Structure 1
Amino acid sequence: MGLAWQQGPLSTRAVGQFLTAQPLPDRVLFAEPLWRRMRVRFDGAWVADSEDVVLLHEPNHYPVAYFPIADVRDGLLVPEAKATNHREFGRTKWFTARSGDKQVPRAAWQYTDLPEYADILRDRVAFAWRAMDAFYEEDERIVGHAADLYHRNDIRQTSRHLVVRDGDRIVADTRRPVVLYESGFAPRWYVPRDDVDQSALAPVDGQTFCPYKGLASYYDIGDSKRGAWSYLDAWPEVARVSGLVSFEPDIVDVYLDDRKLALEPGQTVTPHGIDRGLDPSEMPARAGTE
C-alpha cells in the first residue's frame, strides 16, 4: 500500500481515518520532491535525466514522476493535436515520443493551464510508464511504477507456532515462521519450505507482480484454488522471504498459536499481472543498465 493507492490514507478506500473536526475533500492530491536522481530510456538511449523530479500522489493511482521539461532530450516529444482535461489541473497536453524511426503516441503529458495551488507541476512532463523502455533511479531499474516513498516492508523472525490445514490434512507446521509487515496491510506469515508438505502444493499458471517484492507464483491446495504463494526470487530488499511459502487465510485454515486467522477487512490486494501490461521479462536482473 502506498500513500494514495489501494488502501492508502489518500485513497478513496483508505482503511484508516483522519481525525479532523471537518471532513476532508473527497479527493486530496499530494505532490513532493522525489529527492532521487531518476532517468528514462527510450529507443535504447537516455532521454530524461533529472535530480529535480516531483512525485504526484493522486487518489487510486500509482505515484507518477514529473520531470522538468529542461531535463528531457530536445526533439523527443512531439505535441499531439488532441488535448484532454484533468478534473483538478485543467488542460492536458499530450505528446508522441519520437526517436529515429520509432514513435509512440500518448507517451507523455503536461498540464498547461495549472491553477496556482498546483504550481509545483508547472513546466513538467510525465511519461507513460509502458511507453518508455525503462525507468531508473541512478543505475538501478525501477519496474511497475515510480517508487512510493510511503510503502515499506519490514520482516521479522519469530518462534510462534503456525499451522496450516486443508481439512484434516496438515499442510504446514512450523515454529520458525517469518512475518512480513507491509505498510497498511495485515501481517503476512511465510513458512520455510522444509516445514511445508510439498506434495500438498500444486503449482498453477498465472503470476502476479509486486514492485516491492518481485514476481509471485501460486499454488492450489487440494480444492482450494491459489491458496498459497511464494516469491521464488524476491527482490534483494525482501530476500528473507525468497522461496518461503505464505498461505491465504480466507482460502485455507491458518492457525497462529492456536488462533485461527482471517482475512482482515479492507485488506483485499489489487494484484499486478499480465493484464496490466507488466512483462515478466522485466523481472530478472533489474539492477544495472541495459
Structure 2
Amino acid sequence: MSTRMRDAMGQHFKELRHEPTEKRVRATLGGQTIVDTTSPVLVWEPRRIVPTYAVPAADLRASLVSAGAVEAGGPGFLHPGIPFSTHSTAGEAFDVSAGGQTREKAAFRPTDADLRDHVVLDFDAMDQWFEEDEEIHAHPRDPYHRVDARASSRHVRIEDGGRLLAETTRPVLVFETNLPVRFYLPREDVVAELTASDQVSYCPYKGQASYWSTGDRANVVWSYLDPLPDAAGIGGLVAFYDDLFDVTVDGKLRDRPGGAVVRSLREEFGVS
C-alpha cells in the first residue's frame, strides 16, 4: 500500500530531529557577532513545528552559564507561540552573554549523541540572524516547507454575511505546506472599504505583511507589498482572513478553515 508523503514525514514528529546545512549562518547579540559558522544544524525538538539553529560550540563567541538541567516536557503540540525555554527533550539550559547583554535560558544543549558538540540557540533572543548575507526573521526556513503561488482564472467571491467584499477571476492561489490554500486578489477587485492598520507580521517564506481592517473587523486583510522571492507572485495583492468570511470558488462555498490547521496537525501527528 502506498504511503502518503505527509504521513511518512509525520511518523517522526514526536522525535528529536535534525538536518545539517551548508549555509553560512551568523547571529549577533549586544552588537557583537557571536556565531559565524558554515556547519549549522537545523533542529526540531519533539512535537515542535518550526526549526531553530544549533551551532557548533567551537563557533560560539559568547559566555554560557548553566541555568540547570532540563527534563522533557511541554504541551503536546509546540507551535511557534510556545517559548524556546519550553523543551520537549532532556538537556541543559544556559544563559547567553555578549556585548554587555544577557539572555536567560537562550541556549540549550540536548542530551543527544548526534548533537553533543552543538548548542541550540533561541532565535528570538538574538539581535539579528543571517543566512549567507541575507538577514532572516521569525525563524529559520524549513527546507521541507514550500510556498507555491500560482496565477489562476478561478472565479473567487468573498462575502461577509451576504455583503460582497471582493470578486475576481484573476486570483493568485497560495499553496503552503500544512496550511489551507489562500486566495490573493488584485486590489482593484476589492469593493469593500479598507482602512490601513499599524499592524505588521513577518513570515520567513513570504516576508513582511501589512494589514487593513474592513467594517468592524480589525486586521482581517493583509498584503505583502515587497515579498520575498519565494512569494514574488503575490506582491501587492490582498488576502482576506477567510476563517471569518464566506469564500465561494467557481460557485462552490468553501468550508471555513477556523482552527482546522492546528486541529488537523494535532490529529495527523497524534498529539493533544
- What TM-score do the two structures reach when normalised by structure 1? 0.73
Structure 2 residue 109 is matched with structure 1 residue 110: yes
2:54 counterpart letter in structure 1: Y
**1:241 corresponds to which of 222, 234, 243:** 234
2:31 counterpart letter in structure 1: G
Question: Residues 189-245 of structure 1: CA distance to partner in whole angstroms, max 9, x if unpaired?
Answer: 110011112x52233453333222223333333344544322233223212212211
The equivalent residue for 1:277 is none
The CA distance in 2 between the partners of 1:56 and 1:249, in whole Å, is 32
Percent identity, please. Answer: 35
1:30 counterpart letter in structure 2: R
Give the direction of change, closer, same or farther, for the CA distance of 1:184–1:43 in structure 2 (3 Å limit).
same
* More moved, 227-236 vs 135-144: 227-236
The equivalent residue for 1:154 is 148
3-state secondary structure, aligned to 2:233: helix
The CA distance in 1 between the partners of 2:13 and 2:67, in whole Å, is 32
Q: Any stretches of 5+ residues in structure 1 without a counterpart?
A: 1-15, 271-290
3-state secondary structure, aligned to 2:242: coil
The equivalent residue for 2:66 is 80
The CA distance in 2 between the partners of 1:119 and 1:230, in whole Å, is 44
1:96 counterpart letter in structure 2: V
TM superposition shift of 1:175: 1.2
Q: Any stretches of 5+ residues in structure 2 without a counterpart?
A: 1-5, 74-87, 264-272
The equivalent residue for 1:45 is 32
Aligned residue runs from structure 1 range 65-214, under 5 A: 65-73=53-61, 76-80=62-66, 82-86=68-72, 89-99=89-99, 101-111=100-110, 114=111, 118-197=112-191, 199-214=192-207
* More moved, 64-73 vs 221-230: 221-230
The CA distance in 1 between the partners of 2:12 and 2:175, in whole Å, is 30
RMSD value over aligned CA atoms? 2.8
Paired residues, what number? Answer: 243
TM superposition shift of 1:44: 2.1
Give the direction of change, closer, same or farther, for the CA distance of 1:109–1:154 in structure 2 (3 Å limit).
same
